[in-house]
Amino acid sequence: MSSLCRRTSRRGLAALAVLPLLLVAAAPRAAAAPIGYVALGDSYAAGAAAGSYDPASGDCLRSTRAYPALWAAAHPGGAFTDRACYGATTEDVRTGQLPQLPPGTGEVTLTVGGNDLGFSDAVVDCLQPLTTEGKCTAALDHGAQLLRDTLPGRYDQLLNAIEQAAPGARLVVTGYPHLLQAKAAGACWAGTEARRTRFNQLTDQVDELIQRQAAAHHAKFADPRAAFEGHGVCAPAGAEWITGIVLLNLQESFHPTVDGQAHGYLPVVADALGG
């Protein structure tokens, strides 16, 4: 074969080798799969007291006006799965909600921890007018003990489990707002100023633990306390974003209202999720 033929043959082979690469480059790219968003947690994530409950959620009291549903509605296109449930503890989330994560989960929010410390019992023992100082002190002391000795290990175990169930997902962990105005605008039926102050201090300690755990697991922490400032129980009339005692639906007592979900929780969660 002449040298000219050999050079031509080599050029032809080289062109054939490059052709598949050109075809791949020219071919339209497949659309990215929708990123699924999953909400996990307790009644603060479910939206107890926000109303408009999903009938299918039963006693979980999942509201279409809770921050997870509001964020999902503002970001259509991906699948939304809400597993948050009234009364859930970290163990309930790990063993009951987490196994229901669908494939393709790309974003997870979590609000949990208060029920592990018996917050609802502390509310009853501290914020009703006729309870004694000793009963309130005992309830808050018990919550502080659980916060110190039990919750750190449970939270760490839960976040590890979420990482394994949804590797690579963006995880946002929220704290809790102050439920109460320690210095009330006027007469306040919810305990004494000293009780309200200590209750808020326990909330701060819970949030500090959650923030540390989130940082240790490379998750974002969404802190609602500043947004809720001035909007707790016994705030000026019309400014409360936390319910007081709801006699006809006691499970809605001391939970964020529609405004609390939309203007307290949603902005900080949206910021942590990136929009």
SS3 215: helix
3-state helix, strand and coil shares in percent for the chain, rounded to the nearest 5 = 50, 10, 35
Of the candidates 18, 44, 56, 12, which has an alpha carbon nearest to the alpha carbon of residue 243?
A: 44
Question: One of 63, 178, 231, 255 is an active-site residue; which one?
Answer: 255
Q: Mark out the alpha helices in 119-169 (DSSP H runs).
A: 119-127, 133-149, 151-165
Q: How far apart are CA 228 and CA 269, in angstroms?
A: 13
CA quadruple 206, 148, 155, 55: dihedral, nearest 10: -50
Whether 183 contacts 129, CB under 8 Å: no
As to burial, measured by CB atoms within 10 angstroms (0-12 exposed, 13-18 middle, 19+ buried), residue 226 is exposed
Of the candidates 162, 168, 40, which has an alpha carbon nearest to the alpha carbon of residue 110?
A: 40
For the record, the structure tokens of 19 come out as 């052709």
- Long-range CB pairs of 152-156 (<8 Å, 24+ gap) are 152/209, 152/213, 154/89, 154/90, 154/91, 154/116, 155/90, 155/113, 155/209, 155/210, 155/213, 156/213, 156/216, 156/217
For the record, the structure tokens of 110 come out as 């979590």
- Examine the residue annotation and report whether 255 is marked as an active-site residue of this protein: yes
- Examine the residue annotation and report whether 63 is marked as an active-site residue of this protein: no
Question: One of 43, 57, 63, 253 is an active-site residue; which one?
Answer: 43
The catalytic site residues sit at: 43, 255
